[in-house]
Amino acid sequence: MSLGISSILTEVLARSAGEEITSPLQIRAIEGGSINTTFHITTSRHQQWFCKINDARRFPDLFVFERQGLALLEATATIRVPKTIACEDIDRDQVLVLEWINEGLRSTSFWQNFGEQLARLHRQTRDTFGLDHDNYMGSLPQSNTPSPDWVDFFIYRRLEPQLSLAADKGLLHTRAIQQFQNLYKSLSDIFPAEPPALLHGDLWSGNFLCDEHGRPVLIDPAVYYGHRCMDLAMTTLFGGFERPFYEAYAYHYPFPPNYREQWDICNLYPLLIHLNLFGSVYLSSILHTIQRF
């Protein structure tokens, strides 16, 4: 940032925290994903916050959409999310300050509670798939234009934008795109009608925490109302969740009989996202799935 980080955060926190914030702040850079600069902030009064900073011109309203997603999840009173302290654009940068979460141990009861709470979240519904605004999946724009039909939404708001981007980058050839078009003909049979579920939207193993009391905490959402298998499928990517999570979820909201088939197809969306962001290392997984179907 062109202004000092400490002075900017002191200014932001003084406006947002509702009390005087004295300098200097203790600011420690930490790991926080691939697109944000992230910090752990401690004040002289031992208050702690988590801060993200990014370029407001490169990713317009990235943190505004994250704040809105956290608010939607929090309003359901089903699963904890960090409280938003501040969300501002300053000096061509965007700043998001969140409650700091001290982490605890992921016990069996943690996974069981996580599964039950996600099932309760997925019971939150409305008439259409999508959302009243677009947002991001990682650093890529995500269209949420509503549709009453899941298959239509999945094709035209999830797969097709990523396929077009991958084709433009030369990452997918004509034959693979034709295989996707053949897959579309089967989707109505694979996804019988289900009500739209409020989704976290990017539920891989890096986007949740266990707090010091052993409670699940969701972070970095990409929310919309979609098929619940989108969230469940993503839990199996990049490491997967523990067995008690799935058992608890299925007890409170049973899986459909062909859930494995649904999960494989749902994961085409995050795999296409990763193909477009990180390159052809993800191509074989995509081709393997579409060739199966």
CATH number for the domain running over 108-292: 3.90.1200.10
pLDDT at res. 90: 85
Domain residue limits, the chain: 5-99, 108-292
What is the band of 2 on the pLDDT scale with cuts at 50, 70, 90? very low
Average pLDDT over residues 72-90: 95
Residues 47-69 have pLDDT tens digits of 899 999 999 999 999 999 999 99
pLDDT at res. 21: 61
CATH number for the domain running over 5-99: 3.30.200.20
What is the band of 25 on the pLDDT scale with cuts at 50, 70, 90? confident
Whether 210 and 285 have beta carbons less than 8 Å apart is answered as no
Residue 160: pLDDT over 70: yes
Identified catalytic residue from 202, 220, 231, 264: 202
Whether 248 and 111 have beta carbons less than 8 Å apart is answered as yes
**pLDDT > 90 in the chain, percent:** 81
pLDDT at res. 26: 85
What is the band of 27 on the pLDDT scale with cuts at 50, 70, 90? confident
In sequence order, the β-bridge partners of residue 48 are: 42
Average pLDDT over residues 232-247: 94
Residue 18: pLDDT over 50: yes
* Mean predicted lDDT score pLDDT of the chain: 92
Average pLDDT over residues 223-229: 98
What is the band of 19 on the pLDDT scale with cuts at 50, 70, 90? low
Average pLDDT over residues 211-238: 97
Whether 69 and 62 have beta carbons less than 8 Å apart is answered as no
Residue 207: pLDDT over 70: yes
Comparing 15-24, 66-75, 206-215, 234-243, the range with the smallest average pLDDT is 15-24
pLDDT at res. 239: 81
Residue 254: pLDDT over 90: yes
Q: Which residue has the higher pLDDT, 44 or 234?
A: 234
pLDDT at res. 1: 42
In sequence order, the β-bridge partners of residue 63 are: none
Residues belonging to the chain: 293
Q: Among 208, 195, 206, which Cα is nearest to 117's?
A: 208
Average pLDDT over residues 116-127: 98
Q: How far apart are CA 117 and CA 78, in angstroms?
A: 6
For the record, the structure tokens of 135 come out as 């947002």
Average pLDDT over residues 136-151: 97
Average pLDDT over residues 252-280: 97
The answer to whether residue 149 is catalytic is no
Question: Over the chain, what HEC string results?
Answer: CCCCHHHHHHHHHHHHCCCCCCCCCEEEEECCCCCCEEEEEECCCCCEEEEEEEECCCCCCHHHHHHHHHHHHHHCCCCECCCEEEEEEECCEEEEEEECCCECCCCHHHHHHHHHHHHHHHCCCCCCEECCCCEEECCEEECCCCECCHHHHHHHHHHHHHHHHHHHCCCCCHHHHHHHHHHHCCHHHHCCCCCCEEECCCCCCCCEEEECCCCEEECCCCCEEECCHHHHHHCCCCCCCCHHHHHHHHHHCCCCCCHHHHHHHHCHHHHHHHHHHHCHHHHHHHHHHHHHC
pLDDT at res. 269: 98
